[in-house]
A and B are shown apart, each in its own frame.
Chain A
């Protein structure tokens, strides 16, 4: 089992560019999540999904969109990147209320 994987590991964008972060899990979990981690702010929930075809907003959803077309994949999109979105992004999936995290994507927006 690969667990939770994230693509890409690093990315540098210019302000206004768009990109999609991919999260994949092979544990057949229903729930999936996207977090961002910033110094002094801890991990904050962006969006989450309780099953294929569903999405919901978390604590800091503005500027992001998500899609869960397949159970194993959860995509996070930035339509027009801003420097405030410079962060480390983590994906997680869960079963029985225990969450398992991916290795993260470090995103820099110039």
Chain B
């Protein structure tokens, strides 16, 4: 059974510092990996999707890497801002187009 883990569960950084969020999964047979952002009381917003054949994906200040063989993905957020404060979730897509989610990392960026 696929299991997805995100460590740490919570992270607090001063504004301007780079953020590094980790995601690990137990079964490398994935179709893709998605990173989401969730604000309190809100739904999930898709940030980046990395196909299984890709090594990384970039959007603005966000960069996500994927190492399928070691079962790891890392989300980098450059020059963090208070508006980046949210919970970040990773999810892997497995057979049947289904997602398995990690527990999330709650990020606080202090001004």
User: A interface vs B, CB < 8 Å?
Assistant: 31, 33, 40, 42-45, 48, 50, 56, 58, 90, 92, 94, 97-104
Contact = CB atoms under 8 A, between A and B. Distances in A.
B43 A104 contact: yes
B101 A43 contact: yes
Nearest to B52: A97
Interface in B89-107: 89, 91, 93, 96-99, 101-104
B74 to A, nearest CB: 19
Interface in B31-50: 31-32, 34, 36, 42-46, 49
Interface of chain B, helix or strand or loop or mixed? strand
A90 B91 CA distance: 15
A46 B46 CA distance: 20
A45 B97 contact: no
A101 B104 contact: no
Contacts of A99: 34, 46, 91, 93, 99
A101 B101 contact: no
Contacts of B45: 101
